Amino acid sequence: MAKSKLQISHLNYGELHFYYPIKFDTKLSFTTLCDTLYKSNISFNEEYQEKIMNSLGTSLANATTDFQKNDANAEDIPLTFKVRDTQTQKMYHPVADYESDYEIGADNIRFEFISSDSSIFLNVVSTELEALQQRLSRMEKEFELSSKIYGDSFTSNQKRILLLPFKAQLANGEIVWIHAILIIFSNKMGILKLELPLIDTDIYPLKCYDLDLLVNSIDNCWKLKNIDLDMKLSDLPSYYLKSIVTNNKVNIIKYNNEIKNLLLIDFNEMPNQINNISSELQEELFRIISAPVPEHSYTSYSSDAREHMKKYSWGQHGIKYIMKTNGGVLSLIDRSLLNYYINEFKKSTNTPVLDNNDYTYMCNLLANDINTNIEFAILITMLKRTNECNNIFDKSKNKFDLFNVKKEYFENILFINELQNTCYGTVLEQTSEIERMMPLYLKTDITRSNQIALDNILKDKEQQRSEHFLNFISVGSLVLSLIFGLPSIYEALQILQKTFNIYNVPYLTLENSSVGLWFLLNLFIVIKLLSKRYF
């Protein structure tokens, strides 16, 4: 009986991180820009957290009031219901015909009972708000970890803002949050980052490179008015960027140089050791990172996969990063590292057995650690590419301000170098390796050729403008000489009149001849200018 071909078909847990490079076209200072974006209605700030608490608190207050009204024995039982936020001590009271600002489902509430001698406390927890607050906390920890690994030069020159997340239903019906983070650098460049958890997911959409198949629907849980009910995963970046521009009146230049990092944390056919991957598994990984790859029974990509893994992968200590030459990363771990993390998580949380929620949370922490390990290199590579694209764009747009265009270009180079100034040498080596493995993303030769061609065009135009200016000066000088040379013409004609004794010709006076000759010379110059097209 023939042995079935090994295939990666199911992803127990993974994440897909999207990075979109942008530039803020604004005169606002870095600090003012960050404050403006944080206070906008696209930022997940205290206002939205309060919306969830108000919706939960008021709904509970209404529910307890309805219970007392509808229970026939309520008058005989000395019960008093109070709804209070245990953190802010805010009291919630029933509101008639209340319309919630946020949809809260029964599946997203956890009850915790706490009793005393005289009272029973029912602690009602919004698991959604809890998850969002955990993401805020993790973002702060990621920032602290980045500061330790990459140094203060990297973290002090940026600001990260958690944007309004969206609830999505995966193709298998699983409900997840799509988190969005806006990274703002002090040189007015930025990165929009989206994070999509993949839980119990079929791998097919990744192989055919139709990522919209991963998500069935995106829920407008915040009841926003400008949301398309049929919005797809691929529509989210445009929505966020459009909202930033509309709500904050900050212009954004978007460059189509995005990078995706697919993190495979737990999947079928995981290798036991990352440095011992079978040829069949290599081919499966190649089909994912190079998707879409044609599927034919008579075709094998084992040699292509082996060559790709040799030239475009990097890794150590149970982790491997496989690069996509035109921009992209496939991050995976081996079974040994996953088991190690599981045991460490059990010890740190004192949890002998992990339920589904514990396991998902642990996998999310592991995915963030693996992504943080390579995110610096991704961001530096994107900033370098964005600077080249921005320089070409600015040269085409601001042809008469080339000095400031060149100044901004070289200042950005210095800024990107400064970001790398305090990181470890191994980090610089990793960044250089990843840049080498993405030749079709950086497009160094094409970019250099475009820069040379554009510089030559602008140089020729500058030379042409200089020649036109010199012609203008020359002709202008001649015109001025003629305008103010009328007395000289008059004196010259006086000499001619005396020499040839021209006195008695009717209407041929000295004054008429001077003006006529002066007018003809000016007319000749104007015709010459128009025919030569000096301007």
pLDDT of residue 42: 84
In which residue ranges of the chain is pLDDT below 70? 1-4, 46, 48-128, 298, 399-400, 447, 449-451, 453-519, 521-522, 524-526, 528-535
pLDDT digits (tens, 9 = 90+) for 49-71: 666 666 666 666 665 555 555 55
Give the phi and the psi of residue 167 in degrees, each rounded to 5: -85, 130
Domain boundary among 126, 145, 180: 126
For 178, the token pair is 């799509």
Q: Is there a single domain that holds both residue 454 and residue 483?
A: yes
pLDDT of residue 403: 76
Number of residues assigned to the chain: 535
**Residues contacting residue 167 through CB under 8 Å, at least 6 positions apart:** 128, 175, 176, 177, 178, 218, 219, 221
Strands 319-323 and 259-267: unpaired
- Into how many domains does the chain fold? 3
Q: Is there a single domain that holds both residue 97 and residue 171?
A: no
Q: Is there a single domain that holds both residue 200 and residue 335?
A: yes
Q: C-alpha angle 142/146/147, rounded to 5°?
A: 120
For 435, the token pair is 């840049």
CA 473, CA 481: separation in Å to the nearest integer?
A: 12
Q: Which domain covers residue 517, as residue numbers?
A: 449-532
Strands 109-115 and 91-92: unpaired
Strands 259-267 and 329-333: parallel
Q: Is there a single domain that holds both residue 201 and residue 260?
A: yes
pLDDT of residue 215: 96
Residue 384 falls inside a structural domain: yes
Q: What burial letters (b/e) apply to 351-366, b meaning 16+ CB within 10 Å?
A: eeebeeeebbbbbbeb
Residue 4 falls inside a structural domain: no
Residue 54 falls inside a structural domain: yes
Q: Is there a single domain that holds both residue 422 and residue 280?
A: yes
Domain boundary among 436, 464, 492: 436
pLDDT of residue 238: 92
Rg (CA), the chain: 35
pLDDT digits (tens, 9 = 90+) for 376-391: 999 999 999 999 988 8
